[in-house]
């Protein structure tokens, strides 16, 4: 970090310091934050630089000024910064102005005016209230064109990206008549077409029953909410609400055709945004297969929303354990069959299904073009520690072992060759207070197809 602003050409030092703040703003913008930067200066030296980081820090207070003030106070060992000046590229908000007044800064110099939330003259002027402020001078408009252009460019780029996102032409929608008269699936459809980050993609979910507790049922590969049809009525009859989304590329949700679009993060962020959009609380997370690979990483991101866990044949996808021959065989089979016969697969692994029930698993996929999400999943299972989703899955595993406070019910389909008893025994050691599993001797990988008895047992615990 340069200790002076480096301007020897006669330009005012104010502008030089604002350039330092602008550089911090640019760096914040490159990380996807609103580009605002701040610098604290004392006796012609930089004490601290701060860039906006509320997104990365999950911290509404992490405005550039707050970041810089905290660092400066820490460095000087004093929360009073009476002889310091703070340069910031955007007019401060009420929170930051409050902190600046508490710090008793000598002077605040800002760049662009903020007509929406600025409190150094735009919306109001907190620095003008003699009752609040005896110390801090304020001056606006230094390099305001440059500071403002950075923000305008950032928001224009973001709007452009959102337009591209929604204009994504190559999204297929399964014709509605494919879903007519499916056995056991007389549930009312619900749709969201403008989920944050996924505008233009219609996401389908079931929302049955009423109750304080919400059973959030996440399906995996290559199934859809149909998989939960046997569990939903029992849960609803017990006085609970059940929400079961179809992942993008599955069930009645839209299906982008580009295989590469589907990533661990693409699905995970959809689920996080979906939970926020429906504002689900008191959630019992119900997971199996990819529903668990993705779903188990959700509670640590929003722990206040989760109360329980019903976990069936799944795993933490940490990328640091061998995947096992069963899975490798499955992945090879999937990659050799880009138009995989999904219904046949269900008929094989759940022999008690009627032909019409097995065929219902084919309903979402009129052709191979609809199966990009299906094809992609086996290749998204992290197979090395740096694979997408692996680090976050390891964090989730640690979190469940040490922080999880909810009730857990584990059920294991004992005939699952991939995510069966040995895998689940390992998973159990990483879930705090997980009782011994309920073992379904005849149960296979898709344990929800043995779901009535699983729910009956689970409700004794959850």
Structure tokens at 331: 């992945």
Residue 388 phi/psi, 5-degree rounding, is: -55, 130
With CB under 5 A as the contact rule, which of the stretches 88-96, 144-152, 178-186, 320-328 interacts with Zn ion? Answer: 88-96
Q: For the CB of residue 92, give the shortest distance to Zn ion in the complex, in Å.
A: 5
Cβ distance to Zn ion smaller for residue 93 or 231: 93
Half-sphere exposure (CA, 13 Å, Cβ side) for 419? 26
Q: Is 15 helix (H, G, I), strand (E, B) or coil?
A: helix
Instruction: Just list the catalytic residues.
Output: 289, 416, 445
Cβ distance to Zn ion smaller for residue 62 or 287: 62
Q: For the CB of residue 367, give the shortest distance to Zn ion in the complex, in Å.
A: 52
Residue 305 near Zn ion by CB under 5 A: no
What is the longest distance spanned by two Cα atoms in the chain?
Answer: 84
Residues 375-414 as b/e (b if ≥16 CB within 10 A, e otherwise) read: bbbbebbbbeeebbbbebbbebbebbeeebebbbbbbbbb
Cβ distance to Zn ion smaller for residue 92 or 343: 92
Q: Which residues, numbered 120-139, are part of the site for Zn ion (CB under 5 A)?
A: none
With CB under 5 A as the contact rule, which of the stretches 89-97, 148-156, 309-317, 449-457 interacts with Zn ion? Answer: 89-97
By rule CB under 5 A, what count of residues binds Zn ion?
Answer: 3
Of positions 47, 81, 96, 275, contacts Zn ion by CB under 5 A: 96
Cβ distance to Zn ion smaller for residue 14 or 63: 63
Cβ distance to Zn ion smaller for residue 116 or 181: 116
Alpha helix stretches (DSSP H) within 167-263? 232-237
Q: For the CB of residue 96, give the shortest distance to Zn ion in the complex, in Å.
A: 3
Q: Are 293 and 407 in contact (CB under 8 A)?
A: no
Bridge partners, 109 (sequence order): 87, 139
Cβ distance to Zn ion smaller for residue 65 or 254: 65
Alpha helix stretches (DSSP H) within 77-121? 94-103
Q: For the CB of residue 67, give the shortest distance to Zn ion in the complex, in Å.
A: 10
Long-range contacts formed by 77-85: CB under 8 A, 24+ apart: 79/103, 80/104, 81/40, 81/42, 81/105, 81/106, 82/106, 82/135, 83/42, 83/43, 84/40, 84/41, 84/42, 84/47, 85/17, 85/40, 85/41, 85/42, 85/109
Q: For the CB of residue 129, give the shortest distance to Zn ion in the complex, in Å.
A: 18
Bridge partners, 452 (sequence order): none
x/- track of binding to Zn ion for residues 60-79 (CB under 5 A): ---x----------------
Q: For the CB of residue 20, give the shortest distance to Zn ion in the complex, in Å.
A: 18
With CB under 5 A as the contact rule, which of the stretches 90-98, 183-191, 408-416, 430-438 interacts with Zn ion? Answer: 90-98
Cβ distance to Zn ion smaller for residue 96 or 231: 96
x/- track of binding to Zn ion for residues 141-170 (CB under 5 A): ------------------------------
With CB under 5 A as the contact rule, which of the stretches 13-21, 56-64, 183-191, 330-338 interacts with Zn ion? Answer: 56-64
Bridge partners, 440 (sequence order): 413
Contacts of 226 (CB under 8 A, 6+ apart): 182, 185, 251, 360, 361, 363
Angle at Cα 317 formed by Cα 315 and Cα 322, nearest 5°?
90
Contacts of 44 (CB under 8 A, 6+ apart): 4, 13
Q: For the CB of residue 117, give the shortest distance to Zn ion in the complex, in Å.
A: 8
Of positions 93, 244, 312, 358, contacts Zn ion by CB under 5 A: 93
State the residues that interact with Zn ion by CB under 5 A.
63, 93, 96
């Amino acid at each position: 970090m340069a200790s002076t602003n480096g301007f020897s050409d006669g330009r005012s030092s104010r502008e030089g310091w604002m350039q330092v703040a602008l550089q911090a703003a640019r760096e914040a913008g490159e990380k996807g934050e609103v580009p605002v930067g701040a610098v604290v200066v004392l006796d012609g030296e930089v004490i601290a630089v701060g860039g906006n980081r509320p997104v990365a820090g999950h911290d509404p207070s992490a405005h550039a000024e707050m970041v810089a003030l905290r660092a400066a106070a820490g460095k000087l060992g004093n929360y009073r910064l009476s002889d310091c000046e703070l340069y910031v590229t955007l007019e401060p908000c009420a929170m930051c102005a409050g902190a600046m007044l508490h710090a008793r800064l000598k002077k605040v110099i800002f760049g662009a005016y903020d007509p929406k939330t600025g409190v150094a003259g735009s919306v109001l002027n907190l620095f003008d209230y003699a009752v609040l402020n005896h110390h801090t001078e304020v001056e606006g408009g230094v390099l305001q064109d440059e500071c403002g252009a950075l923000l305008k460019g950032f928001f224009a780029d973001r709007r452009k990206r959102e337009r591209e996102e929604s204009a994504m032409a190559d999204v297929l929608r399964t014709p509605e008549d494919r879903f007519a008269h499916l056995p056991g699936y007389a549930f009312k459809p619900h749709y969201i077409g403008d989920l944050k980050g996924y505008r233009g993609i219609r996401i389908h979910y079931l929302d049955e029953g009423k109750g304080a507790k919400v059973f959030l049922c996440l399906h995996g590969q290559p199934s859809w909410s149909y998989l939960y049809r046997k569990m939903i009525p029992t849960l609803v009859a017990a006085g609970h609400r059940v929400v079961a989304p179809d992942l993008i590329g599955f069930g009645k949700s839209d299906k982008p055709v580009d295989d590469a679009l589907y990533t661990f993060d693409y699905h995970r962020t959809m689920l996080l945004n979906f939970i926020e959009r429906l504002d689900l609380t008191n959630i019992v997370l119900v997971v199996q297969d990819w529903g668990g690979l993705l779903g188990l990483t959700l509670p640590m991101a929003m722990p206040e929303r989760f109360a329980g866990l019903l976990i069936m044949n799944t795993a933490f996808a940490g990328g640091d354990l061998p995947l096992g021959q069963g899975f490798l065989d499955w992945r090879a089979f999937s990659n050799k069959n880009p138009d995989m016969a999904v219904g046949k697969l269900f008929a094989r692994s759940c022999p008690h299904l009627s032909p019409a029930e097995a065929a219902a698993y084919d309903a979402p996929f009129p052709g191979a073009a609809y199966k990009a999400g299906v094809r992609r999943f086996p290749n998204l299972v992290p197979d090395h520690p740096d694979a997408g989703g692996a680090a976050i899955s390891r964090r989730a595993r640690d979190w469940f072992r040490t922080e999880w406070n909810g009730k857990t019910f584990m059920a294991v389909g004992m005939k699952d060759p991939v995510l069966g008893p040995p895998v689940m025994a390992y998973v159990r050691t990483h879930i705090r207070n997980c009782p011994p599993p309920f073992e379904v001797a005849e149960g296979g990988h898709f344990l929800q197809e043995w779901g009535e008895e699983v729910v009956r047992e689970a409700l004794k615990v959850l």
